[in-house]
């Protein structure tokens, strides 16, 4: 028994350690969108289903045959090491990102992950045959090991090891796990040879309705996990910690429910669900909450709802003889939930409705079969429905939804019928630029006169060659003059379509305008040096930070494309992270002078507070009249961190 337990715990630890590890590899290659992690989770859930199916099929055979087959599969997985993905998997500009991510993960970690996915179920099945007692507590132990891995990654692994070193260390650890697996298989082989272990009596077949309940009660928490994680990363930052926290709480619910000898009654489950639903109300009604509040409420709501749903799931679990089928149904539900959020929602919906829909479906699933608890859950449904109804929108002219986000174009009259008409590009609550129809070529908001970017354009005389990372509504094209050449780099094809068809900045600019589709780093890396007079980095989606655009490697790329006397302008406005401090550190490494320029500009939509950093060679900055000015955090004595593609810790930047 001990070797089976140790193998199970080691497999569970490696299973969840590799998820943020591979996500950190994939993120900078695919533009840093929140959907990158959602797609990774879809892969992991799908392969987990494959692992459970493999274990379920294997458990039907005699124990010695199971041991022999599993030995061969484990050895094949060990041969597939190491897991660091090949550079050839970096995407091209016209390749489907979802298929590319799935292919990359399958080629690099597919077989080892399949083996790890099967380990918990297989070790429990072997324990049920070889030793008396219920093996379900082993499942709680496996989730505890997975939880330990998720906390170890951001606290002990990520801060100290680069991505490739992490992959190497994990590959060596998998080798140790493979030896444990072979030892467990040898134990099963020997015990079967000596005592002809028989499978326990299975009893009558499981009703189809029960199997469907297993699938549904697994699918909803899985879908909630991805929807909540995507919301958090879209509003804060696409970094591994914000993937790990919701996933850890999701796993914790399994530990709690599988470790309990007796599950709580329906009324307690309903109260937990109603409280979970209520956690989503503040974020829906009051935008701009502090970072800790946003993340805490979203994660807490996920935990309570998943706990309620998983409690109902475990209440319906079968006897140990049918545990592999139970786990297979759970895994199928998890994969279906992931598929619905990662692929179904972006394909079928033009706006982010998946989270509100899931918040309404979850209590409905809990009420089925528990009429006495219906009133408690009804309160939660009313809360969520009211919150959804309170989310304001203007006169929506068009909606767009893709892998990269959800957009809408609104017509607004903030000053009433006599005020100006404004066309506004919005993603959730985040503004991506607007145009006053009566002043169509007047830049406003973050780009208004007096802002850092206005001062950069004003300082450059004559014809200018400008690169601009991030398009939005195309507002910066309003700064173009006859003889200028502006080249935008935009990741989201929908944004390009909106800027060209719904706004007139690109069309009416006197400058020569071109737009390159794709991730700016990938496109720039494939281009010859542009000799730019100005490179503008304005690609942050609200408060979400594409970390790969702020690493040392990214700044080296920017310098390569600038002319010797070129300027770099970075838009660093952010509610939660001190990006000016990070940028200051990166520019110091380049030996450049930087000027921090905060500004508050009035607009028809209210005041816009912008923060820009202008930088370049010291002699060039001095010639243009930009005296060095560090951000306030430097004056306070804080040490600027340096991000790299391998290592981008978020904690030093939290406000």
Pair (508, 592) in one structural domain: yes
Residues 184 and 219 reside in one and the same domain: no
| Final residue in a domain of this structure, among 351, 370, 391 | 391
**Are 211 and 186 part of one and the same domain?**
no
Q: Are residues 195 and 211 in the same domain?
A: no
CB atoms within 10 A of CB 28: 25
- Residue 44 within a domain: yes
Residue 246 belongs to a domain: yes
Taking each helix axis from N to C end, the angle separating 354-367 and 291-315, rounded to the nearest 10 degrees, works out to 30
* Structural domain range at position 643: 442-653
Q: Which residue bears the tokens 């569970």?
A: 12
pLDDT of 26-57, one tens digit each? 877 776 666 787 888 889 989 999 998 999 88
Residue 331 lies in a domain: yes
Are residues 106 and 160 located together in one domain of the fold? yes
pLDDT tens digits, 452-487: 999 999 999 999 999 999 999 999 999 999 999 999
Helix axes 291-315, 240-259, angle to 10 degrees: 30
User: Mean pLDDT, to the nearest integer, of 621-632?
Assistant: 95
The domain boundary, picked from 164, 199, 234, lies at 199
**Chain centre to alpha carbon of residue 488:** 25
What pLDDT, on a 0 to 100 scale, did the predictor assign at position 543?
A: 54
Residues 133, 127: Cα–Cα separation, whole Å = 9
What DSSP assignment string belongs to 548-598? Answer: GGSSHHHHHHHHHHEEEEEEEEEE---SSB-HHHHHHHHHHHHT-EEEEEE
The three-state secondary structure class of 629 is strand
pLDDT tens digits, 165-195:
899 999 999 999 999 999 999 988 887 655 5
Neighbour count for residue 38 (Cβ, 10 Å)? 25
- Evaluate whether residue 412 is within a structural domain: no
492-507 pLDDT, tens digit each: 899 999 999 999 999 9
**Residue 411 forms part of a structural domain:** no
Question: 149, 183, 199: which is the final residue of a domain?
Answer: 199
Element housing 21 (H / E): helix 2-26
Residue 409 in any domain: the answer is: no
Total number of domains in the chain: 3
CA atoms within 13 A on the CB side of 648: 30
d(CA 477, CA 540) in angstroms, rounded, equals: 18
Q: Is residue 229 domain-shared with residue 179, that is, in the same domain?
A: no
- Whether residues 254 and 379 fall in one domain: yes
Highest mean pLDDT of the ranges 23-27, 231-235, 405-409, 608-612: 608-612
CA distance 584 to 592: 9
- Give residues with Cβ within 8 angstroms of 637, minimum separation 6: none
CB 342 within 8 A of CB 39: yes
Residue 98 lies in a domain: yes
For residue 652, what are the contacts with CB-CB under 8 A and spacing of at least 6? 581, 638, 639, 641
Per-residue H/E/C for 162-196: CHHHHHHHHHHHHHHHHHHHHHHHHHHHHHHHHHC
**Most confident by average pLDDT, 294-308, 333-347, 353-367, 495-509:** 495-509
What is the reported pTM? 0.79
State how far the alpha carbon of 120 is from the alpha carbons of 65, 75, 198, 373, in Å. Answer: 18, 18, 20, 34
Asked if residue 143 and residue 4 are part of one domain, the reply reads yes
One domain for residues 525 and 378: no
* Residue 486 and residue 571 in one domain: yes
pLDDT tens figures, 79-134: 999 999 888 887 766 677 888 999 999 999 999 999 999 998 899 888 877 776 66
């Amino acid at each position: 028994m001990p070797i089976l337990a140790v193998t199970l715990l080691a497999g569970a630890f490696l299973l969840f350690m590799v998820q943020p590890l591979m996500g950190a590899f994939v993120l900078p290659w695919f533009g840093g969108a929140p959907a990158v992690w959602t797609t990774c989770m879809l892969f992991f859930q799908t392969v987990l289903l494959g692992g459970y199916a493999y274990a379920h099929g294997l458990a039907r055979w005699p124990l010695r045959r199971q041991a022999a087959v599993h030995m061969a599969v484990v050895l094949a997985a060990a041969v597939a090491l190491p897991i660091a993905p090949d550079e050839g998997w970096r995407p091209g500009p016209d390749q489907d990102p979802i298929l590319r991510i799935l292919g990359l993960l399958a080629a690099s970690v597919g077989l080892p992950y399949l083996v790890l996915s099967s380990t918990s179920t297989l070790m429990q099945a072997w324990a049920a045959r070889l030793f008396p007692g219920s093996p379900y507590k082993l499942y709680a132990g496996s989730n505890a090991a997975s939880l330990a891995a998720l906390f170890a990654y951001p606290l002990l692994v990520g801060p100290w090891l680069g991505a490739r070193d992490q992959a190497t260390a994990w590959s060596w650890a998998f080798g140790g796990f493979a030896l444990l697996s072979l030892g467990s298989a040898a134990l099963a082989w020997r015990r079967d040879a000596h005592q002809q272990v028989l499978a326990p009596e299975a009893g009558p077949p499981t009703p189809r309705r029960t199997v469907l309940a297993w699938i549904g009660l697994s699918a909803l928490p899985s879908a909630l996990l991805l929807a909540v994680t995507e919301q958090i990363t879209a509003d804060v930052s696409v970094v591994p910690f914000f993937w790990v926290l919701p996933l850890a709480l999701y796993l914790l619910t399994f530990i709690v429910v599988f470790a309990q000898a007796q599950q709580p009654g329906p009324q307690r489950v309903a109260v937990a669900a109603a409280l979970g639903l209520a956690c989503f109300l503040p974020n829906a009604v009051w935008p701009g909450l502090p970072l800790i509040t946003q993340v805490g409420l979203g994660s807490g709501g996920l935990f309570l709802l998943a706990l309620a749903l998983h409690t109902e799931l475990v209440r319906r679990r079968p006897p140990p003889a049918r545990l592999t089928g139970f786990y297979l149904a759970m895994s199928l539900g998890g994969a279906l939930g992931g598929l619905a959020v990662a692929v179904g929602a972006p394909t079928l919906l033009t706006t982010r409705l998946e989270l509100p829909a899931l918040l309404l479906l979850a209590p409905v699933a809990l009420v089925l079969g528990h009429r006495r608890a219906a009133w408690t859950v009804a309160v939660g449904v009313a809360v969520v429905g009211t919150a959804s109804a309170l989310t304001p929108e203007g006169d929506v002219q068009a909606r767009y939804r893709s892998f990269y986000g959800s957009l809408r174009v609104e017509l607004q009259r903030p000053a009433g019928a006599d005020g100006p008409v404004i066309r506004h590009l919005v993603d959730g609550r985040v503004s991506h630029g607007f145009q006053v129809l009566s002043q169509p070529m007047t830049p406003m908001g973050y780009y208004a006169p007096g802002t850092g970017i206005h001062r950069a354009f004003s300082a450059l005389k004559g014809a200018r060659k400008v690169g601009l990372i991030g398009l939005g509504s195309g507002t910066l094209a309003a700064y173009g003059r006859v003889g200028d050449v502006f080249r935008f780099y935009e990741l989201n094809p929908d944004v390009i379509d909106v800027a060209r068809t719904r706004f007139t900045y690109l069309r009416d600019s006197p400058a020569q305008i071109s737009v390159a589709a794709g991730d700016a780093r990938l496109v720039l890396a494939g281009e010859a040096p542009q000799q730019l007079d100005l490179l503008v980095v304005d690609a942050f989606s609200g408060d979400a930070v594409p970390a790969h655009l702020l690493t040392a490697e990214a700044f080296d790329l920017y310098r390569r494309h600038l002319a010797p006397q070129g300027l770099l302008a970075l838009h660093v406005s952010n509610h939660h992270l001190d990006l000016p401090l990070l940028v200051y550190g990166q520019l110091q490494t380049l030996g450049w002078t930087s000027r921090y320029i905060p500004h508050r500009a009035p607009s028809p939509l209210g005041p816009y507070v912008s923060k820009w950093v202008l930088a370049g060679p010291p002699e060039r900055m001095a010639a243009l009249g930009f005296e060095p000015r560090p951000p306030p955090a430097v004056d306070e004595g804080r040490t600027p961190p340096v991000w790299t593609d391998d290592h981008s810790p978020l904690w030093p930047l939290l406000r």
